[in-house]
Each structure stands twice: as structure tokens, then as C-alpha cells.
Amino acid sequence: MVTSLSELAQRKQSGRKLAVLTAYDYPTARLLDEAGVDLILVGDSLGMVVLGLPDTTGVTMADMLHHTRAVRRGVKRAPVIADLPFHSYDTPEEAVKNSRLLVEAGADAVKLEGGRSKIGQVRAIIAAGIPFVGHIGMLPQSVREEGGYKKKGRTEEGAAVLLDDARALDEAGACAVVLESIVPDVAARITAEVSMSTIGIGAGSRCDGQVLVTPDLLGSFPWFRPPFAKARADVAGETLRAVREWAVEVRGA
């Protein structure tokens, strides 16, 4: 189990995979920590799976601070990573200011979406002494510009862009990077080349770890689940059953 981000480099060397999950509230964060998850991400997937928004672009800094504080209260051991939401890092100055707020709310590291195109922001965050996690491949905050969620790295050119993004983040000093919806061979090439830990989601098994949106794992958000996420519980089904059973008992029918 990881207890500090400084262990990530050694963990990569050891070949033991990282198990990473998202949390947005105190009880889930506490359970994930007690279950021994390596890293906990307060993801801006919060927008869809907690706030009922259509995508992540409506998530605000106020939302992220509120939920990061709740997660922090529940976690004793696992490092907590918090997402910088859409338009909170348009300039390096904004990126540093908002990263500091997330750290004050309890984050051990911050994450933003983008590689080479955001390197000014990434360098500024790291220069401010804030541990940083990258996110490349399919970028949910760009879903509107891109017209949907698309797999990345299908062409040689696309793969070269991803490798260049990964190298830029690695050289800047990121401790880890999320590889989202990337062709598995390309994710494996990136993993072999960089010294930061790669954490895949929809990017095949040859990454240094895997991350899932916890409601996808628990079956607590039954209206949408990505094809690569296998639900290992049926929390939605159990909730419906318990509520209906209780209501019948209360009504005496």
C-alpha cells in the first residue's frame, strides 16, 4: 500500500501495480482507505456521478474544494489527488493559485488534463512545490470541442503526440500520469519510456496501475458504465431493494 507519493518511483521499479479509485465524499474515502487502495482521486467525474451534470465541464473550483475537504476527512493513509476543474488553469498563475487552494483543502497532489500544451502550467505548479499528476489521452474536459469521447493513439501520428506529451510531463517532474482511453500498445510504450507511474483507464493492462470511477466498480451509477469497467457489486440494485422493502413495511401493505 502506498503511504506517500515519494514511494511511487520505487513502486514502479518493483513492478507491483497501483490500485487507484475515485472518491467524492467522507464515507467512500474512508472505506477506500481502509480497503488499502493505493491512491484516491477526487476526480471531476464528480460532475456526472455525484452532481448529475452531463459532463465534467460544469464542475467548479468551489465544487472541487468542497468534495476534497470531505475526502480528506475520511483518509488517514492513501495520498489524495484532486482534479483542477475546467478553466481553473488557463494560465500558469491561475494553475498555481487554484492548486494551492486544493492543497489547503487537503489534496496531496493535483491533476490537470493535457500534455505539452499545458506544460507552462505544469512547470509552474511543480515549481511551487506542489506534487503533480498528469492526464493525457482522451480528455473529458475537451469532450465538447472534440464532439465526443474518442480513443487516442490509433494512428502513428496520434501515438507520437501522446509519447511527446508523456515525455514533456515526465521531464517537468510529474510523479504520475493518467492514460485515458489510449490504444493499449501505445500505453505500454509510454509506460516503458517514462519514469513517472502510468495509471490507465481504458488503456489496457500494461500500465503501472489502473484507476476506476468508484461508482462504476460498485454499480452505484447504473445509468451509464463504460465498457471496460466491470461492476463488482450492485449497490443501485441493493438500494432499490432496501428502500422498497422498508417502504412496504412502513405502509403496512
Closest alpha carbon to 92 in 107, 112, 109:
112
Within 13 Å, how many C-alpha atoms sit on residue 158's CB side?
15
Interface residue with ligand KIV among 166, 178, 182, 218 (CB under 6 A) is: 178
Q: Read off the DSSP letter of residue 60.
A: -
C-alpha cell, 208: 503501472
Q: By the 8 A CB rule, do 153 and 183 touch? A: yes
Scan residues 88-127 and list those touching ligand KIV (CB under 6 A). Answer: none
* Residue 201 touching ligand KIV (CB under 6 A): yes
In the annotation, is 156 catalytic? Answer: no
Cβ of residue 180: shortest distance to ligand KIV, in angstroms? 6
Rounded CA separation 183/152 (Å):
6
Choice between 136 and 178, CB closer to ligand KIV: 178
Choice between 95 and 211, CB closer to ligand KIV: 211
Scan residues 25-54 and list those touching ligand KIV (CB under 6 A). Answer: 41, 43-45
Q: How far is CA 5 from the centre of its chain?
A: 15
* Residue 213 touching ligand KIV (CB under 6 A): yes
Catalytic site residue from 145, 157, 180, 245: 180
The kind and range of the H/E element at 92 are: helix 92-104
Q: Which residues bind ligand KIV (CB under 6 A)?
A: 22, 41, 43-45, 83, 135, 178, 201, 211, 213
Active site residues: 180
